[in-house]
């Protein structure tokens, strides 16, 4: 097993990997940018290497700096987390050249699937069902119009190098095609350093369901069940659960088998996820392979009891999978809420800033994978994910009630978060019935939000109590040696009134 590894990421996922390292007696080395000098992942690591400016291209996206950091601290392996360089063949290639183990798939399968159009061609060859659309990326505007007409509207423009909803646009009419194309290309360029986009037919009322797989270096591949990821806002997953309330056992098994076939066809290794779009009739189509640890991996960990990060490290170290398909038996129900620094009452605008107060939930079946602490300043340079709250229950109902309870305990003050939005979702009859698809949130946002009048009253009373306290405090004598400009000002004003 490795003695020391470098974690080429930040935020909650860096913390997650650090935790696995600690439990395996591996020395975790963090990297940090200018904006992350005081980040939680740095505080929890054993060693940390500074890698440059806040701008991702100067730090977390910079292959040279990360490889140099690994060599400098003597790390034998690099864990990329998700996002940033997680699916970047250049980093994998560099690691292979420098004799550093990359904790993830080898460069060849990564190259095949990292680019989505080549992944689609490859899957078609392997007999895996794919969504109709272009097999090549589209770069020319005239070509775009012609191809779009062939596929038919509505359609999706997708970043060939993309993932996570970035560089993705839904186009319903031909007149929206060109502006959407330009935005998708510019977003793809800034997120993935590659502007290529391709066209895919848009499936109506879709479910987004993915299968977790693990593959070792000896040809053993297992799947660890599915995650229902249809709860999305603007193509970004916000809540995931396992098992899916939509799937039947037959479809579930079939998807597992196809997922194993898909990764076997490309010589995939380590942890990965095969994403599918499932239509109303439960026909499923290959969407992409996510060649990394997913944000929502804890959901699978909670139902299977398998630590996916530890499995990644074991596989990368050359050990065979210690269990087979027959040993995987998911139990109970798990779900995850992605708590973001966004304002749900103002069109989900990003809300970076300082966290002045933090109370995190605990108790049976509650897990909080977080990258923040009280006093932490959430930078504007990166993804707004603050933490992932995960609950497990014997049944779906118990998992939901536990999540509702945990969210009511979760207090993040100083910035705005999506916690109230989840509280709304968790009470919605359609969610409770498990009858939702990827359109749920867009429809929910059109419904009026129920206000709790008692909260407004309590807020006003709290303000009055605080005002009274502030007024009293300003009358207090100044403690010798302690200078307080507010008190000084208050006394001046009081004196002025008396004169």
Tokens 């990821």 sit on residue: 229
Report the nearest approach of another protein to the CB of residue 161 (Å).
Answer: 15
- 413 scored as a contact of another protein (CB under 8 A): yes
Least Å distance, CB 460 to another protein, is 5
> How near is the Cβ of 183 to another protein at its closest, in Å?
7
| Token duo for residue 356 | 């002045």
420 is an interface residue for another protein by CB under 8 A: yes
Helix axes 308-316, 11-23, angle to 10 degrees: 70
Could you give the 3-state DSSP secondary structure of residue 204? coil
Judged by CB under 8 A, the residue of 10, 297, 338, 416 near another protein is: 416
Q: Is 292 a catalytic residue?
A: yes
Shortest distance (Å) from residue 456 CB to another protein: 7
Of the candidate spans 23-31, 95-103, 388-396, 419-427, the one that interacts with another protein by CB under 8 A turns out to be: 419-427
Q: Is 402 in the site for another protein (CB under 8 A)?
A: no
Contacts of 53 (CB under 8 A, 6+ apart): 33, 34, 59
The arrangement of strands across the sheet holding 270-278 comes to: 284-290, 270-278, 207-215, 221-233, 236-242, 333-340, 385-393, 366-370
| Region 310-349 residues binding another protein, contact defined as CB under 8 A | 341, 343, 345-346, 349
Round the CA-based radius of gyration of the chain to a whole number and report it.
Answer: 25
> Mask: binding to another protein, 448-487, rule CB under 8 A, as x and -?
----x-xxxxxxxxxxxxxxxxxx----------------
Nearest to 361 by CA among 414, 412, 420: 412
Report how far residue 63's alpha carbon sits from residue 57's, in angstroms, rounded to the nearest whole number: 9
85 scored as a contact of another protein (CB under 8 A): no
47-51: long-range contacts, CB 8 A cutoff, minimum separation 24: 47/73, 49/6, 49/73
By the rule CB under 8 A, 1 interacts with another protein? no
* Tokens at 439, concatenated: 């359109």
Q: For residues 106 and 164, which CB has a smaller minimum distance to another protein in the complex?
A: 164
Q: Which helix (H) or strand (E) holds 270?
A: strand 270-278
Name the one residue in this structure whose structure tokens are 């291209």.
57
State how far the Cα of 305 lies from the Cα of 352, in Å rounded to an integer.
Answer: 34
CB 371 within 8 A of CB 11: yes
* Residue selected from 350, 398, 405, 432 as contacting another protein according to rule CB under 8 A: 350
Q: Does 414 bind another protein (CB under 8 A)?
A: yes
- Give the count of residues interacting with another protein (CB under 8 A): 53
Residues 358-387 interacting with another protein (rule: CB under 8 A): 359, 380-384
Binding mask 183-222 for another protein (x = CB under 8 A): x--xx--xx-------------------------------
The CA distance from 356 to 377, in Å, is 9
Residues serving a catalytic function are 292
Contacts to another protein by CB under 8 A: 166, 183, 186-187, 190-191, 341, 343, 345-346, 349-352, 356-357, 359, 380-384, 407-408, 410-414, 416-417, 419-420, 423, 452, 454-471
């Amino acid at each position: 097993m490795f003695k020391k590894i470098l974690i080429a990421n930040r935020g909650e996922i860096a913390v997650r990997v650090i935790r696995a390292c600690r439990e395996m007696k591996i020395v975790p080395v963090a990297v940090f940018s200018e904006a992350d000098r005081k980040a939680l992942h740095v505080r929890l690591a054993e060693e940390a290497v500074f890698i440059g400016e806040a701008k991702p291209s100067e730090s977390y996206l910079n292959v040279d700096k990360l490889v140099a950091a690994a060599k400098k601290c003597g790390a034998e392996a690099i864990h990329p987390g998700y996002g940033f360089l997680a699916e970047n063949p250049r980093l994998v290639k560099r690691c292979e050249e420098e004799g550093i183990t990359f904790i993830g798939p080898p460069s060849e399968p990564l190259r095949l699937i990292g680019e989505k159009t080549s992944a689609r061609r490859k899957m078609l060859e392997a007999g895996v069902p794919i969504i109709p659309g272009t097999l090549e990326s589209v770069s020319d505007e005239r070509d775009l119009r012609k191809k779009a007409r062939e596929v038919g509207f509505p359609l999706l423009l997708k970043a060939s190098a993309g993932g996570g909803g970035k560089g993705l646009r839904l186009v319903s009419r031909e007149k929206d095609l060109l502006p959407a194309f330009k935005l998708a290309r510019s977003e793809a360029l800034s997120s993935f350093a590659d502007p290529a986009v391709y066209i895919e037919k848009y499936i109506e009322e879709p479910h987004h369901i993915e299968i977790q797989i693990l593959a070792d270096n000896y040809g053993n591949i297992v799947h660890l069940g599915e995650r229902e990821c249809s709860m999305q806002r603007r193509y970004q997953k916000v809540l995931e659960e396992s098992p899916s309330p939509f799937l039947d056992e037959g479809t579930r098994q079939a998807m597992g088998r196809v997922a194993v076939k898909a990764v076997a066809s490309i010589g995939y290794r380590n942890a990965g996820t095969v994403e599918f779009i499932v239509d109303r009739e439960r026909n499923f189509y290959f969407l992409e392979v996510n060649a990394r640890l997913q944000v929502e991996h804890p959901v699978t960990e909670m139902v299977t009891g398998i630590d996916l990060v530890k499995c990644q490290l074991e596989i990368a170290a050359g050990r065979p999978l210690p269990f087979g398909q027959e040993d995987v038996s998911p139990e109970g129900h798990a779900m995850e809420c992605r708590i973001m620094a966004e304002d749900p009452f103002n069109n989900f605008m990003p809300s970076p800033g300082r966290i002045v107060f933090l109370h995190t939930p605990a108790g049976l079946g509650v897990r909080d994978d977080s990258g923040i602490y009280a006093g932490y300043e959430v930078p504007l340079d990166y993804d707004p994910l603050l933490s992932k709250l995960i609950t497990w229950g014997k049944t779906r109902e118990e998992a939901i009630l536990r999540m509702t309870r945990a969210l009511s305990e979760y207090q993040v003050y100083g910035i705005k978060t999506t916690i109230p939005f989840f509280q709304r979702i968790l009470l919605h009859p359609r969610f409770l019935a498990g009858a939702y698809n990827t359109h749920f949130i867009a429809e929910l946002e059109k419904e009026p939000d129920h206000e709790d009048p008692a909260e407004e009253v309590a807020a006003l009373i709290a303000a009055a109590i605080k005002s009274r306290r502030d007024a009293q405090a300003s009358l207090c004598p100044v403690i010798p040696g302690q200078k307080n400009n507010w008190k000084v000002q208050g006394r001046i004003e009081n004196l002025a009134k008396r004169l």
